[in-house]
Amino acid sequence: MSADKTSLSSAQAAARPIVATIATVFRDGHVLLVRRANPPDAGTWGFPGGKVELGEPLEKAALRELFEETGIEARAERVFTALDAFDRDEAGALRHHHVLVAVLCSWVSGEPVAGDDALEARWFPLHALEAGDLALSRDVAKLARQGAEIAT
């Protein structure tokens, strides 16, 4: 194949899904969440996470993003699920498609301090996610339940 057929144009590359990780960390019946500072989902609570860098293993990406957003150090245990996150404009056109890979992590040290693109970072009791009082990003309560079951 010629070089022009094997490489993607910038428009084609931008039209592909973006791989990101989310770190699910549990400690004493609580889950660590951050309140997002930037769109999409600005102002809502979700798991620390972000884009995977080229050549970066998923577990390392999750731990790096976790530390950047919260100052928490953890140990990556395993990938336990993945989900699609679609960001659409007001007219419904797709702006971004992220594939979020959930990594179960074990807390090692630190207390949450908001950093990077987080407004706040703190531990929440698992039952608080079900109460409906928190503005949660999509599937946060479901993923927290799933991760907690695996972690125990």
Q: List phi, psi (to 5°) of 142.
A: -60, -45
Which DSSP string corresponds to 76-140? Answer: EEEEEEEEEEEEE-TT--EEEEEEEEEEEEEEEE------TTEEEEEEEEHHHHHSS-S-BPTTH
What is residue 1's predicted lDDT score, i.e. its pLDDT?
A: 43
What is residue 45's predicted lDDT score, i.e. its pLDDT?
A: 97
What is residue 112's predicted lDDT score, i.e. its pLDDT?
A: 97
What is residue 74's predicted lDDT score, i.e. its pLDDT?
A: 98
Kindly give the pairing relationship between strand 45-46 and strand 94-109.
unpaired
Q: In angstroms, rounded to a whole number, what is the distance separating the alpha carbons of residues 125 and 121? A: 13
Query: Any idea of the CA torsion for 128, 131, 134, 138, to the nearest 10 degrees?
Result: 100
Which active-site residues does the annotation give? 120
What is residue 14's predicted lDDT score, i.e. its pLDDT?
A: 59
Residue 4, amino acid: D
Each of the 152 residues of the chain gets a pLDDT tens digit; together they read 444 444 444 444 558 999 999 999 999 999 999 999 987 788 999 999 999 999 999 999 999 999 999 999 999 999 999 999 998 889 999 988 999 999 999 999 999 999 978 999 999 999 999 988 899 998 999 999 999 999 98
Give the CATH H-level superfamily of domain 3-151.
Nucleoside Triphosphate Pyrophosphohydrolase (3.90.79.10)
Q: Do the Cβ atoms of 32 and 112 come closer than 8 Å?
A: yes
Kindly give the pairing relationship between strand 49-51 and strand 73-88.
unpaired
Q: In angstroms, rounded to a whole number, what is the distance separating the alpha carbons of residues 102 and 35? A: 17
Under 8 Å CB-to-CB from 120, ≥6 apart: which residues?
34, 35, 114
